[in-house]
Structure 1
Amino acid sequence: MNSIHARVIHRIPTIIAVVALLAVWEAWVRLAHVSPTMIAAPSEIAQATVETWPTLGPAAAVTAYEGVVGFLFAVFFGIMIGVVFYCSRTLNAAIYPLLAAAQTMPLISIAPLFLIWFGFEVSGKIVIATVFGLFPIAVQTIRGLQAVPQFYSDVALTCGASPAWTLWHVKLRVAARQIYGGIRVSAAYIFATASTAEYLGARKGLGIWLQAAYNSFRTPLIFSATFVIIAMTAVLMLAANLSERLILGPAEDEEDPDADQ
């Protein structure tokens, strides 16, 4: 209870800052008589969200499905790729630069290829979300495994554990905190990636919904979709943090074994 109370207290300044920002935003738009096509007031955005939810909700559901499935694939393949690259220095040296180069390409430059390969279907957006989401997880998996102190392996091997068992049950457990850092980075961008891919070519989803709002110059709807993406991202990051806490326990409970040396 004390830790929960401390976290709530810690979030109070953030809540106050958000409320103050929204109040200033609302007052500025109202008092300065800013055109609704330029920027919408928070109250207008909220009203537009409620009025258009019968179409906004289903569009958000499509993007949420693409993002969540792509994210789960990214976590699995990111960790697997990281483990393989960690175990094979030759493969790491040969393929890792290509993987890094692929991640630097802007989405707009490769989206046409995915449209050719997958068409306008949801599966293509899932693949794009997976490809762009797995890189930070793979990188943090490699770095996390490389940072595991050698004595963990020495103790496990001395107790009769095999190298494979030591890798999956010891090294990955020790590196898990750093791996979760990559997972959180991936979660922060997965829905934005999916919606951008939809914007470039899809039949449904928030990207198409945003495109329609832009074409009709309905600025409040653009903000509505943006805030829905932010809300979905926040929920996914909370889920990632919760899974970390359930699987690994509170971070503050872990002590550095080298602290007393």
Structure 2
Amino acid sequence: MVGNHVRNTRGTLIKMFRRRIPTLVTVVLLLVVWEAWVRLAHVPATMIPSPSEIAQATVETWPTLWPATRITLLEGSVGFLLAVMLGILIGILLYCSRIANAALFPLLSAAQTMPLISIAPLFLIWFGFEISGKIVIVAIFGLFPIAVQTIRGLEAVPTFYSDVALTCGATRTWTLWHVKLRVAARQIYGGIRVSAAYIYATAATAEYLGARGGLGIWLQAAYNSFRTPLIFSATLVIIAITGILMCLVNLSERVLLGSTGSDDDPDAGQ
């Protein structure tokens, strides 16, 4: 049994690696073309730096880049966790109550249409330059896709799931938390992935508009000093930590819900 588990794990890892080969090849080719174009065309580093210049600048400034990254990581991660919890709870509330849906969903939608630059000054007035204000901004902008996908996922659950549970003596509350949410979990995770994709970018943008530290302040300082390689360094760090978060979200989905194939009906083909 242990041997089969090891073989299955090895086979899964090999399949994942094979799926990523085209992406890796494309990235390498783009970097090679980018490097060659900058060097052959003698493009100034203040306009477009080469990948090697960006890597060198990242290594040289890492002692100051990493503390800024930690601040953005803290703001984005805490804000993301709040967004997940509040998004799911709000989605459940709006699904269960038509009155709450009619009263709150338009306000929730309107909150997402406001540009960050228009509400950031308010949060500076309320929270100052502290981290707490950035966490609140991240949570507000991150919960909308989660709430929407929670509502849609619950509405898409076939009624026979509830009918079977209620027939077996389950309460509606138990059915909601143990049946409907489990069936809707894949779609809810879709909203979580959408939120995770821009959570750290939102935190950095909020910092850029007013903060004591973080990648947003780093970007602002790099822009003011016309150090273009450092702008790319901070951008790559944001992409990297976002990719790590996305991997953690996918891993948690696999641990909690299993592989996507585990949801298939084994009797569907019979």
* Deviation readout 1:169-203 (Å, 9 max, x if unpaired): 00000000000000000000000000000000000
Provide the TM-score with structure 2 as the length reference: 0.95
- Partner Cα distance (2:13, 2:169) in 1: 41
Q: Offset at 1:259?
A: 3.9
- Partner Cα distance (1:22, 1:191) in 2: 24
- Partner Cα distance (1:91, 1:190) in 2: 27
* Deviation readout 1:33-64 (Å, 9 max, x if unpaired): 00111011000000000000010000000000
- Partner Cα distance (1:252, 1:20) in 2: 34
2:64 to 55, 77, 80: 55
Q: Offset at 1:112?
A: 0.5
- Partner Cα distance (1:22, 1:213) in 2: 22
Q: How does 1:36-75 map to 2 (within 5 A)?
A: 36-75=45-84
2:231 to 222, 238, 241: 222
Report how many aligned residue pairs link the two structures.
Answer: 261
Q: How does 1:1-261 map to 2 (within 5 A)?
A: 1-256=10-265, 259=268
SS of aligned partner of 2:198: helix
Ranges in structure 2 where 5+ consecutive residues have no aligned partner: 1-9
| Deviation larger for 96-105 or 76-85 | 96-105
* Deviation readout 1:103-127 (Å, 9 max, x if unpaired): 0111001100111110000000000
Of all paired residues, the percent bearing the same amino acid is 75
Q: Offset at 1:258?
A: 8.7
Structure 1 residues 124 and 237 mapped into 2: Cα distance closer, same or farther (>3 Å)? same
- Partner Cα distance (1:97, 1:145) in 2: 19
Q: Offset at 1:25?
A: 0.4
**Shift >6 Å, 4+ stretches:** none
Provide the TM-score with structure 1 as the length reference: 0.98
- Partner Cα distance (1:55, 1:258) in 2: 58
Amino acid at match of 1:43: S
Ranges in structure 1 where 5+ consecutive residues have no aligned partner: none
* Deviation readout 1:133-160 (Å, 9 max, x if unpaired): 0000000000000000000000111111
Amino acid at match of 2:80: F
Root mean square deviation of aligned Cα: 1.1
Q: Offset at 1:93?
A: 1.3
